[in-house]
A = this chain, B = another copy of it.
């Protein structure tokens, strides 16, 4: 939705890089040049470049310039990265994603749930189990805990489509950030049953546990995503901070 100037420039540069207008290892035009190109201040150009750095598209070098380090990813497998709904990443990867709701109940957080999710004891929650298929193959089992007060009117029908679409488009919630922990865990009987994995083949799952916050600073979701290991691929770009 951001139609700000810096965001426009960011998108323009990003697409130019993806198209190949700026090749791998090539220098982008200098900030001064970009200021003239986009008729804006240097701060605005710098902000756009900053976003590209975060994406791992370019690298700034004081005194030298801004170098493109974008390499088109091998889209062989299904990749995930930022905060995305299953539906969004399906579309981005040009796949056909569908969802089956295995379980949809209202629960109240007890000690055990509190320990796992971080919701205080007594909090009213929706608990869902959902199975995500990609091109007909069951890949992911999600265990979602949603804060009932923040996500009113959730139904199994919505859960079958896209909950994030409902939150953002209907409830006008803004999803902001997500703390995630990735681990590898033993396969469970539920995993085995729904994902059709042979434990002789793989006896582990890739697990992403996440706490997600909205723009009111409320943690409204805790989710444990259990991924079939042979289809799991998580991409990331990290920027080094000088130690100390």
A109 within 8 A of B: no
B239 and A177: CB pair below 8 A?
A: yes
A213: chain B residues within 8 A (beta carbon): 59, 69
Interface pair A83/B238, CB less than 8 Å apart: yes
Pick from A1, A184, A186, A206 the residue with the most CB of B within 10 Å.
A184
A-B contact pairs, 27 of them (CB 8 A): A59-B176, A59-B213, A59-B217, A61-B215, A61-B216, A61-B217, A69-B219, A81-B238, A82-B240, A83-B238, A84-B243, A88-B243, A177-B238, A178-B238, A180-B236, A180-B238, A181-B234, A181-B235, A182-B233, A182-B235, A182-B236, A183-B229, A183-B233, A184-B184, A184-B204, A186-B202, A202-B203
| Chain A contact residues, CB within 8 Å of chain B | 1-2, 25, 53, 56, 59, 61, 67, 69, 71, 79, 81-84, 88, 118, 168, 174-186, 202-206, 213, 215-217, 219, 229-230, 232-244
